[in-house]
């Protein structure tokens, strides 16, 4: 009885083949082929699998285990979907209209919840549409600003490139003048300072000779006195003790001419050093101008390098994310505070997860070469961007050891095609969730 009803249902010209999408119904009104052989229309949905791809059993679970032919749920007033053949007639309601568990005579094993589900989905889509429209507006403004900034940076680089040759020529001229001035100054110094230095050397030589003479005399007297003390001590052990003390006192009373002369020499050297320092403090105008020119050149080259790097870091296809430059987003978990500083680095509290390495796709970026894990790889962080009008870190976890993953809402991930998908939702696949 069951197979007779199936055959009538399948062969009726006005019949709708169960489990088949409307746009594919015409395929079953003609002869069906699989494996090079024709399949009779009476074999369609007869609960016996004749085709490896399951095309002869779109409305039953007879051809479970393949993904080529899926059961279609009309889900009127909600979103149509397809489910695996193994879920048809398994006693679990997968379709909101209950069509996957419906009996052939129209009796339903599952209540129809499509109206309620459709209303809920409609509200969710409207909310997403509202957020998408706001995100697209922000993205357009961001792109417009990014293009203007790009033009300004390119103009700055062009201006710097135009000015650098002139500045370098001025620096070369100043260096030449400085060398000439130094040569003239050196010659003048030689003429004025050489006689004075010669006299100073002569004076120092005379002082040195005097000091050597005094040192020799002091050493001679010390040697003589020491010898006398030794003889006197043996001759008059106790009686001459006082005399020895007197001689010692006289020796101690002699003036320390060596120390005084040394202080005079040191004083002269110190005085000359102070005079030299004061002379150095009086900066040469040419030297000052040279330093200023070197500073201007360095500043211009540093600015050019920074602007060039910024242009290379953010290509035009990613201008929608330009607002992230010099910006940090935080995310707090129960244990750590994560800080994502785009175009710079990412940290987990005080642990560096990686340095900015750039975009890997239209909506993905990565931070690489973070601190090494103990006995493991260097830390890294993958960022997946989701469409949103506001900027925030939605989630951040560690799916595998030392490899982190973050989901970030940003208008740069919003695209026009999302509008069409939300306004005209496509058929849901069993691997997808709304």
For residue 49, name the pLDDT band (cuts at 50, 70, 90).
very high
227 found inside a domain: yes
DSSP 8-state assignment for residue 187: H
Together in a domain, 76 and 161: no
Distance separating alpha carbons of residues 59 and 68, to the nearest angstrom: 13
| pLDDT interval class at 119 (50, 70, 90) | very high
Residues 171-191 have a mean pLDDT of 84
From the list 189, 178, 412, the residue with the least C-alpha distance to 287 is: 178
What is the average per-residue pLDDT within 370-387?
94
For position 381, what pLDDT does the model report? 97
Least confident of 44-53, 396-405, 422-431: 422-431
- Please check whether residues 74 and 156 belong to one and the same domain: no
Higher pLDDT, 280 or 173: 173
The pairing of strands 337-341 and 345-348 is antiparallel
Are 280 and 157 in the same domain? yes
User: Are 199 and 275 contained in the same domain?
Assistant: yes
Q: Is residue 202 part of a domain?
A: yes
Q: How many angstroms from the chain centroid is the CA of residue 141?
A: 24
Q: Kindly report the number of other CB atoms within 10 A of residue 210's CB atom.
A: 12
pLDDT above 60 (res 50): yes
pLDDT average, residue stretch 260-282: 50
pLDDT, residue 102, reads 79
- Residue 41 domain-assigned (yes or no): yes
Confidence band (pLDDT; 50, 70, 90) for 281?
A: low
User: Does residue 119 form part of some domain?
Assistant: no
Mean pLDDT value of segment 416-425: 86
* pLDDT, mean of residues 363-389: 94
pLDDT of residue 239: 53
Structure token pair of residue 168: 């370098």
Q: Is the pLDDT of residue 360 over 90?
A: yes
Euclidean distance between CA atoms 1 and 105, whole angstroms: 12
Q: Where residue 388 sits, what CATH number does that domain have?
A: 2.70.130.10
434, 79 contact by CB (below 8 A): yes
Residue 18 has pLDDT above 50, yes or no: yes
| 264, 403: one domain | no
Calculate the average pLDDT of the chain: 82
Check whether 146 has a pLDDT greater than 90: yes
As a whole number, mean pLDDT of residues 290-299 equals 90
Residue 273 lies in a domain: yes
Confidence bin at 256 (pLDDT 50/70/90)? low
Contacts 24+ apart (CB under 8 A), 315-318: 315/359, 316/147, 316/150, 317/362, 318/359, 318/362, 318/412
Name the pLDDT band for 90 (thresholds 50, 70, 90): confident
- Same structural domain, 297 and 404: no
- Residue 230, pLDDT above cutoff 50: no
Regarding whether 374 and 291 lie in a shared domain, the answer is no
Q: Which residue among 275, 310, 345 closes a domain?
A: 310
Residues sharing a CB contact under 8 Å with residue 230, sequence separation 6 or more, in sequence order? none
Is 80 exceeded by the pLDDT of residue 277?
A: no
* Whether pLDDT at 105 is above 50: no
Average of pLDDT values for 201-214? 88
Report residue 282's pLDDT band, with 50, 70 and 90 as the boundaries: low
pLDDT at residue number 286: 83
Do 201 and 313 touch, CB atoms closer than 8 A? Answer: no
The rounded percent of the chain whose pLDDT value lies above 90 is 46
Q: Are residue 36 and residue 104 in the same domain, yes or no? A: yes
Predicted local confidence at residue 425, as pLDDT: 81
- Residue 14: per-residue pLDDT: 45
Do 62 and 205 reside in the same domain of the chain?
A: no
Does any domain span residue 127? no
Same domain for 328 and 300, yes or no, is no
Residues 339 and 381 placed together within one structural domain of the fold: yes
Residue 359 lies in a domain: yes
Indicate the number of domains in the chain. Answer: 3
Domain that holds residue 8: 2-112
Residue 95, pLDDT score: 92
Least-confidence region, from 7-16, 166-175, 308-317: 7-16
User: Is the pLDDT at 123 greater than 90, yes or no?
Assistant: yes
The answer to whether 117 touches 78, Cβ cutoff 8 Å, is yes
């Amino acid at each position: 009885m069951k197979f007779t009803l199936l055959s009538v249902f399948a062969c009726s010209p006005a019949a709708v083949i169960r489990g088949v999408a409307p746009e594919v119904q015409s395929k079953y009104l003609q002869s069906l082929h699989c494996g090079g052989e024709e399949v009779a229309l009476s074999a369609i949905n007869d609960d016996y699998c004749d085709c490896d791809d399951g095309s002869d059993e779109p409305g039953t679970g007879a051809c479970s285990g393949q993904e080529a032919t899926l059961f279609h749920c009309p889900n009127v007033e909600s979103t149509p979907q397809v489910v695996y053949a193994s879920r048809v007639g398994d006693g679990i309601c997968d379709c909101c209209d209950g069509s996957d568990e419906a009996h052939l005579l129209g009796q339903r094993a599952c209540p129809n919840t499509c109206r309620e589900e459709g209303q809920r989905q409609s509200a969710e889509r409207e909310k997403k549409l509202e957020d998408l429209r706001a995100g697209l507006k922000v993205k357009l403004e961001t792109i417009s600003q990014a293009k203007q900034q790009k033009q300004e940076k390119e103009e700055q680089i062009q201006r710097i490139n135009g000015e650098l040759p002139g500045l370098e020529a001025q620096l070369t001229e100043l260096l030449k003048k400085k060398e000439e001035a130094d040569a003239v100054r050196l010659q003048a110094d030689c003429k004025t300072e050489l006689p004075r230095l010669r006299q100073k050397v002569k004076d120092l030589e005379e002082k040195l000779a005097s000091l050597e003479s005094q040192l020799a005399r002091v050493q001679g007297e010390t040697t003589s006195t020491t010898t006398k003390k030794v003889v006197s001590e043996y001759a008059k052990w106790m009686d001459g003790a006082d005399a020895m003390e007197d001689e010692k006192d006289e020796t101690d009373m002699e003036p320390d001419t060596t120390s005084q002369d040394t202080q005079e020499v040191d004083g002269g050297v110190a005085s000359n050093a102070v005079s030299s320092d004061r002379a150095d403090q009086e900066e040469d105008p040419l030297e000052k101008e040279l330093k200023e020119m070197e500073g201007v050149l360095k500043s211009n080259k540093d600015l050019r390098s920074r602007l060039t790097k910024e242009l290379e870091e953010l290509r035009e296809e990613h201008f929608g994310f330009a607002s992230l430059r010099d910006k940090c987003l935080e995310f707090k978990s129960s244990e750590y505070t994560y800080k994502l500083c785009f175009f710079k680095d990412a940290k987990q509290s005080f642990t560096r997860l990686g340095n900015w390495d750039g975009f890997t796709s239209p909506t993905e970026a990565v931070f690489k070469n973070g601190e090494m894990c103990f006995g493991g790889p260097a830390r890294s962080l993958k960022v997946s961007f989701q469409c949103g009008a506001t900027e925030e870190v939605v989630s951040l976890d560690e799916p595998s050891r030392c490899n982190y993953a973050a989901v970030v809402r940003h208008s740069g991930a919003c695209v026009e095609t999302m509008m069409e998908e939300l306004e005209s939702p496509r058929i849901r696949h069993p691997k997808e969730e709304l």
